[in-house]
Amino acid sequence: DVARQVLAAWHRRAGPGEAATAHHYFDGTYTALENYVLSAAVEALGHRVGSWDGLLPRVSVAECDAEQFTCDFMSRNRPVVLEGCVRHWRALDEWVVQGGGKKSTRAPMAPHEPFQHTSCATLDVAHLCRTYGGAEVEIEPGLEPGQDKIYDRPRTCMTLQDFLESQWDLETGEGRIGRQGYCKDWHFHRDFPREGLELLPTPVYFGDDWLNGFAEAELGTDYRFVYLGRKGSATHLHADVLGSYSWSANVAGVKRWRFVPPSLSFLLLDIFGLRTAPDFVPEALGNEALADLPCLGGHENGLVGRLPDGCRLSGGASWKFPLLH
């Protein structure tokens, strides 16, 4: 409320719009206001933070069929981690290499076989370049030198080959040194429909997808995306399509997700509570309880995370295939 009153005073003085706040970024008054708001927020957390137990359950698909999943999680709009949901995906074999640079030789697993972690798998960037290098993708720029927050900046279009070559040494698979980029919202199923069905089939848990069906039938597009970035890459804090729910599965690498309960959603907005914040780094707020928020810190290969509708996302290094509903 204090920050909004200050903003109203700035608007009365300089008029509405960005001009009202522009010079306050340079004279230090915005930073002073931000520090005040954050201090008040941290103090308020003592009254809002409770136990995180049960906020992010992990369930094996061998113990949870589609009907139970719908009843326990979909209908209640709860987040959950499904173990073993995409273990039958061919992409887990064809798009990755195991430790030592060797292709996986395991037989494809059925969806309900016991889950096994495959954290030693890394992305086979050379194979992706050879097979899909001509596809056009959108790249979100990474951090500028000296920046510690990721803002929503215009994306650039390039071929997948150009992106991969700029981020990795294709012969060794090692990430390059330099500015990072993040391949965001690649419509793999739309660009390669046969490969999409064969390599990344939709699990039965998420088959009832009204939003994607509408997009394909009426808009000529889809909401099934592949994301790709080297170690340390990230997206800015953002909301999913139409604030809807989504699911995300890792093929290789890891991705860190922070799960914030509704009572703390104000932390995902700017100091005026009007726009999505550029980033969410709970450790920076100096609150131990907040730093211990449930974190899917790894999102290991083969795991699937279901995200509730209305959530905002802040991504880390990942290779994921979420279908947005």
Q: Name the E strands within the chain.
A: 58-60, 80-83, 96-97, 122-123, 136-141, 156-159, 181-186, 226-229, 238-239, 246-249, 255-258, 295-298, 304-307, 312-313, 319-320, 323-324
Instruction: Kindly state whether residues 231 and 281 are assigned to the same domain.
Output: no
Give me the residues of the chain with pLDDT under 70, please: 10, 12-23, 25-26, 40-55, 99-121, 143-152, 241, 261, 263, 281-325
State CA 90 to chain mean position distance.
Answer: 22
What tens digit of pLDDT does each residue of 144-174 get? Answer: 656 656 556 778 999 999 999 999 999 998 9
Phi and psi at 67, nearest 5°, equal -65, -45
pLDDT at residue 30 in the model: 75
Q: Decide if 113 is inside a domain.
A: no
Which pTM does this prediction carry? 0.75
Smallest CA-to-CA distance from 142 within 170, 167, 173 is with 167
Instruction: Kindly state whether residues 3 and 21 are assigned to the same domain.
Output: yes
Instruction: Kindly state whether residues 250 and 277 are assigned to the same domain.
Output: no
Instruction: Kindly state whether residues 262 and 240 are assigned to the same domain.
Output: no
Size of the chain, expressed as the number of residues it contains: 325
As for how many domains the chain has, the answer is 2
Instruction: Kindly state whether residues 229 and 142 are assigned to the same domain.
Output: yes
Instruction: Kindly state whether residues 138 and 247 are assigned to the same domain.
Output: yes
Q: CA 240 to CA 61: how far, in whole Å?
A: 25
pLDDT at residue 134 in the model: 97
pLDDT at residue 325 in the model: 21
Q: Decide if 34 is inside a domain.
A: yes
Give the range of the structural domain holding residue 33, as residue numbers without chain letter. 1-49+258-289
Instruction: Kindly state whether residues 270 and 197 are assigned to the same domain.
Output: no
Instruction: Kindly state whether residues 162 and 204 are assigned to the same domain.
Output: yes
Q: Decide if 85 is inside a domain.
A: no
Q: Decide if 189 is inside a domain.
A: yes
Q: Decide if 233 is inside a domain.
A: yes
Q: Decide if 297 is inside a domain.
A: no
The DSSP letter of residue 201 is P
| CA distance between the termini of the chain | 34
